[in-house]
């Protein structure tokens, strides 16, 4: 009986993967707003009623694709941080390694990036299930800055008095062990990182930025400075 159950589970896993692969192909060809379970079933040679046993609605299929994309992006960031930590390089360089890994994933998966950070899909509201995966890049950056503070390789960025209350609230929610000014700077840097990526992937840099590798490395290096990361050698 266990052998039969195992075979059924493997078959279900394979079909689930095939459904998601076909859905990603349709996302790349036509966009998320036109994603259809019936169209996916037709391309896979399935009756739609059979597909509904795997994904009861379009929204559940979209959620699965979004979670997969966030997890893949988060894994890229986490792997880069772990590799950079192993090199014992300065913390600004580690920050750049993480952000460049995020960019590399985005450039390699533009349609999945668009699903995460492009125009909202009409009629779709992301459920709570997406929050954890969506947080992985941000938590990786927070962890890197936390490590730099523990090593004495980070300064507290300036913070105006009018922003103090909001910074304290964000710190309480996201990283109570870090200075509020640092957390506020991290939130701003996180937003600017994905702003840079969206400008590049969605065409706003066309005929504006030519050497995009160098431009991104320089811009993300500035972000490392804004969150207070230093080399520890000369305070910069």
The 10s digit of each residue's pLDDT in 56-95 is 999 999 999 999 999 999 999 999 999 998 777 899 999 9
Contact (Cβ atoms closer than 8 angstroms) between residue 67 and residue 133: yes
Only one residue has tokens 């996302």, namely 27
Return the pLDDT at 89.
84
**How many angstroms separate the CA atoms of 17 and 25, rounded?**
12
**How many angstroms separate the CA atoms of 67 and 37, rounded?**
18
Contact (Cβ atoms closer than 8 angstroms) between residue 102 and residue 76: yes
DSSP string, 66-135: HHHHHHHHHHHHHHHHHHHHHHT--HHHHHHHHHHHHHHHHHH-HHHHHHHHSSPPTT----GGGHHHHT
Residue 140's closest CA among 64, 201, 70?
70
Return the pLDDT at 234.
45
Residue 229, strand partner residues: 154
Evaluate if pTM is beyond 0.85. Answer: yes
If pLDDT is split at 50, 70 and 90, which confidence band does 2 have?
A: low
Return the pLDDT at 167.
96
Return the pLDDT at 201.
96
CA distances to 91, 129, 146, 178 from 150, rounded to whole Å, are 12, 32, 6, 10
Is the pLDDT assigned to residue 182 strictly greater than 90?
Answer: yes
What is the phi-psi region of residue 125: left when phi exceeds 0, alpha when psi lies from -120 to 50, beta otherwise? beta
Return the pLDDT at 235.
43
- 15, with CB counted inside 10 A (0-12, 13-18, 19+), is middle
**How many angstroms separate the CA atoms of 194 and 200, rounded?**
10
């Amino acid at each position: 009986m266990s052998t039969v159950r195992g075979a059924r589970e493997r078959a279900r896993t394979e079909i689930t993967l095939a459904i998601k692969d076909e859905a990603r192909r349709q996302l790349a060809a036509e966009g998320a707003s036109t994603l259809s379970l019936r169209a996916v079933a037709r391309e896979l040679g399935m009756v739609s009623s059979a597909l509904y046993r795997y994904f009861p609605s379009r929204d559940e299929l979209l959620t699965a694709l979004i979670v997969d994309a966030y997890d893949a992006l988060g894994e890229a960031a986490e792997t880069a941080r772990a590799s950079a930590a192993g090199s014992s390089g300065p913390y600004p360089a580690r920050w750049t390694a993480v952000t460049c890994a995020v960019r590399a994933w985005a450039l390699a998966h533009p349609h999945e990036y668009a699903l995460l950070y492009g125009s909202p899909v009409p009629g779709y509201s992301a459920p709570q299930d997406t929050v954890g995966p969506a947080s992985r890049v941000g938590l990786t950056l927070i962890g890197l800055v936390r490590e730099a503070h523990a090593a004495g390789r980070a300064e507290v960025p300036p913070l105006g008095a009018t922003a103090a209350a909001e910074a304290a609230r964000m710190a309480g929610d996201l990283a109570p062990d870090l200075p509020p000014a640092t957390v506020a700077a991290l939130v701003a840097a996180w937003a600017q990182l994905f702003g840079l990526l969206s400008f590049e992937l969605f065409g706003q840099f066309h005929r504006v930025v030519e050497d995009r590798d160098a431009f991104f490395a320089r811009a993300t290096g500035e972000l490392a400075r804004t969150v207070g990361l230093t080399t520890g050698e000369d305070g910069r």
